[in-house]
Amino acid sequence: QQARISIDPAFVVAPVNRRVFGSFVEHMGRCVYTGIYEPGHPTADDDGFRGDVLDLVRELGVTTVRYPGGNFVSGYKWEDGVGPREDRPTRLDPAWRTIETNAFGLNEFMEWAKKADVEPMMAMNLGTRGLQEAIDLLEYANHPQGTALSDLRIEHGAKEPHDIRLWCLGNEMDGPWQLGHKTAEEYGRLAAETARAMRQYDAGLELVACGSSSRTMPTFGAWEATVLEHTYDVVDYISAHAYYQLLDGDHASFLACSVDMDRFIDQVVATADHVGARLGSDKRIDISFDEWNVWYLRELMSGQGGLPKDWTVAPRTSEEAYTVLDAVVVGSLLITLLRHADRVTAASQAQLVNTISSIRTEPNGPAWRQSIFHPFARTARHARGTVLDLRLDAPTTTTPTYGEVPVLDAVATHDADEGRLAVFVVNRHPSEPVSFSTDLRAFGGGQIAEAVVIADDDLTAANTQADPDRVVPRPHPDASVTDGTLTAQLPPASWSMVVLE
């Protein structure tokens, strides 16, 4: 099979927004405790932050980190996690059936974010709480000094204001599983009044309204329209969440799941623009795709892994051992997110450590890179400059879930200052290789600076504590440039990256 992409530096979608390479730290399973935070670990610093994890977070190239949830935030009292540790209450977290010690909270997270060199994206509780607690949190976190709450922060050891710019107005409020789940009307009103109040304190904040928890929600579309009718003038983003998994051994559909993400984005954009038109507004609402990943949710919910029966601190929840196949899918979801760079201007892979994560750790033991770490790290490092509007001419394959889809999907970024072109391409065919070519003459030719592929005869291979580098990108066996044309043979179920200079 033969496929071709056409690219030209003049045809630009939008600049690569670094916020697309965000991640997510939730108080869920061992993401925080024995993930990023483990006092007493051999690599822990004075704050109890694991140094091995911090190194991997920097290597992953994460730019923003959403915190503290997720479903957790909808029952969370931020006040429990600040002040002297010995005074912090231990509570039940019903979202994940765990005991929350509150040993780690807002000020620890902000300190960690500084060390990790990431921008915080703070979620507030609009499930069990509302406007007053939201503006209290804002005053505590961002006001410099001289008021009750800002002085309390200083007393708690955080002298400088945290100056958090990016805020989520709740989490997945469309989901019946959410504490304080609301109708679109109820949530839209609450989100609008909270956003308006927050802007009275600081007009320049960037605010995210909750969109749908998945494209399959029965309220999808109507939810976005109603919420945005209430919030259009006072928010910047509407969120989208999507998780995918291999179901019943159907490799073809799993490999093509970015088709769903693609349609999801198009439909949210259409809905947001429709509301803008009805309101006679020239303002544009962007998408914050602030939860996405491969997640074996069916297994979690069916009880094979299951939520813990007993209430414990930091149990092992959704500690996926990601495979080669999962890594290819994550690479393809990143291609989709980047292709929509004009409207998806923030995104967070869920999550960062141990729970549905790129990085795994053992308590008092090592940290390692999961298979999905690699496409993320390579894309975050090499997708620079602008996203190009490419044209793809590829054969198709038929999938049970998404029907006929092109076997290839691709995105290209161009850093004109550095004279670098990066092409990311996925072969979604489960069993057949595809020959791929692209004419580079519009770029004056080019030499390969780096060409790697993630592919394997064993698609179930995964990285483990015993074998942490079983799945890594390998040098591309035959990518080459001849007479200004890049060609490569793409193995079945593979993700490739070619950087040209």
Specify the residue, 177 or 311, whose C-beta has the smaller distance to ligand AHR.
177
172 touches ligand AHR (CB under 6 A): yes
Q: Which helix (H) or strand (E) holds 206?
A: strand 206-212
**From 100, 108, 291, 320, active-site residue:** 291
Decide if residue 350 touches ligand AHR (CB under 6 A). yes
DSSP secondary structure string, 435-459?
EEEEE-GGGT---EEEEEEE--S-T
- According to DSSP, the β-strands at 206-212 and 166-169 are parallel
Q: With respect to ligand AHR, which residue has the nearer C-beta, 352 or 497? A: 352
Which of 64, 171, 361, 386 is in the footprint of ligand AHR by CB under 6 A?
A: 171
Q: Identify which of 348, 414, 375 has the alpha carbon closest to the alpha carbon of residue 16.
A: 414
Q: Please, what is the Cα angle at 362 between 360 and 366, to 5 degrees?
A: 80
Q: Hey, which residues between 353 and 392 contact ligand AHR (CB under 6 A)?
A: 356
Determine, following the binding rule CB under 6 A, whether residue 29 of this chain makes contact with ligand AHR.
no
Has 160 been annotated as catalytic?
A: no
**Per CB under 6 A, which of residues 202..231 are in contact with ligand AHR?**
213
Q: Please say if 59 is a catalytic residue.
A: no
Minimum distance from CB of 1 to ligand AHR (Å)? 36
Please spell the DSSP secondary structure of 95-109, one letter per residue.
Answer: TTTEEE--SS-HHHH
The catalytic position among 38, 100, 133, 172 is 172
In the numeric block, the tokens 């709740």 are attached to 170
Q: Which residues contact 367 (CB under 8 A, 6 or more apart)?
A: 50, 52, 53, 56, 359, 360, 361
User: Which of 70/446 has CB closer to ligand AHR?
Assistant: 70
Question: Residue from 13, 19, 26, 33 that binds ligand AHR (CB under 6 A)?
Answer: 26
Tokens of 495: 């993700």
Residues constituting the chain: 501
Of the candidate spans 67-75, 380-388, 444-452, 477-485, the one that interacts with ligand AHR by CB under 6 A turns out to be 67-75
Question: In the complex, which residue's CB is closest to ligand AHR?
Answer: 70
Asked if 71 is part of the footprint of ligand AHR (rule: CB under 6 A), the reply reads yes
- DSSP lists the bridge partners of residue 398 as 404
Say which residues have a Cβ less than 8 Å from residue 3's Cβ, sequence separation at least 6. 392, 393, 394, 395, 406, 407, 408, 434, 435, 436, 437
Closest approach, Cβ 96 to ligand AHR, in A, equals: 8
User: Which among 30-38, 64-72, 259-267, 458-466 is the span making contact with ligand AHR, rule CB under 6 A?
Assistant: 64-72
Computed on alpha carbons and rounded to an integer, the radius of gyration of the chain in Å comes to 22
> Regarding beta strands 408-415 and 420-427, do their DSSP bridges make them parallel or antiparallel, or are they unpaired?
antiparallel
Minimum CB distance to ligand AHR, residue 298 (Å): 13
Q: Which stretch binds ligand AHR (CB under 6 A): 10-18, 66-74, 155-163, 269-277?
A: 66-74
Cβ atoms of residues 80 and 57 within 8 Å: no
Which one of 68-76, 220-228, 407-415, 464-472 is the stretch in contact with ligand AHR (CB under 6 A)?
A: 68-76
Any contact of residue 180 with ligand AHR (CB under 6 A)?
no
Rounded CA separation 6/316 (Å): 46
Stretch that binds ligand AHR, among 69-77, 86-94, 136-144, 486-494 (CB under 6 A): 69-77
Residue of 35, 70, 75, 188 that binds ligand AHR (CB under 6 A): 70
Of positions 63, 64, 142, 351, contacts ligand AHR by CB under 6 A: 351
Interaction of residue 481 with ligand AHR, rule CB under 6 A: no
Residues contacting residue 50 through CB under 8 Å, at least 6 positions apart: 35, 36, 37, 38, 41, 43, 44, 361, 367
Of 95 and 493, the one with the shorter C-beta distance to ligand AHR is 95
Residues labelled catalytic: 172, 291
Residues of this chain that bind ligand AHR (CB under 6 A): 26, 28, 69-71, 171-172, 213, 291, 350-351, 356
